[in-house]
């Protein structure tokens, strides 16, 4: 990878990842699976083309969370890092919350809003 690399990783530092900057698709997912797996009200995702993404340190543990998706998390500290969807095999979805600078990547869309918790604003 050349130039500036956007980086992120898990809470304990066992896993680090990176990818080149671009205007990537972002969304807040309010589905019940994201909620349960993260323990948070919703999860903010960013879609990175697979060929632009790389692990810098370690590799996460795989969890087949449904027939449509596989999720990856740090097996040391549990941070949810990545999701792969069968429908979009060329993309890797990273959790914006695991980026080093999540403030730079405001999610632009909301999905599964029918599952959104009533106390989540907006």
CA angle 12–111–118, rounded 5-degree value: 90
Burial of 92 (0-12, 13-18, 19+ CB in 10 A): buried
Nearest distance, CB of residue 2 and Zn ion, angstroms: 28
Residue of 5, 7, 14, 113 interacting with Zn ion (CB under 5 A): 14
Of 26, 27, 31, residue with least CA distance to 117: 31
Taking CB under 5 A as the rule, does residue 94 contact Zn ion? no
Site for Zn ion contains 10 (CB under 5 A): yes
**What residues from 39 to 78 belong to the interface with Zn ion (CB under 5 A)?**
74, 76-77
User: What distance, in Å, lies between the first and last C-alpha atoms of the chain?
Assistant: 37
- Is 31 near Zn ion (CB under 5 A)? yes
CB of 103 to Zn ion, least distance (A): 21
List residues binding Zn ion (CB under 5 A).
Answer: 10, 12, 14, 29, 31, 34, 74, 76-77
């Amino acid at each position: 990878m050349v130039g500036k690399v956007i980086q992120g990783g898990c809470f304990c530092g066992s896993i680090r990842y990176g990818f080149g900057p671009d205007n990537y698709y972002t969304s807040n997912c309010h589905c019940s699976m994201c909620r349960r797996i993260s323990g948070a009200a919703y999860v903010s995702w960013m879609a990175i083309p697979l060929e632009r993404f790389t692990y810098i340190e370690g590799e996460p543990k795989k969890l087949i969370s449904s027939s449509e998706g596989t999720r990856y998390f740090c097996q040391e500290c549990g941070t949810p890092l990545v999701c792969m969807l069968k429908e979009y095999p060329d993309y890797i979805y990273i959790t914006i919350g695991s980026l080093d600078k999540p403030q730079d990547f405001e999610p632009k869309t909301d999905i599964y809003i029918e599952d959104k918790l009533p106390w989540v604003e907006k």
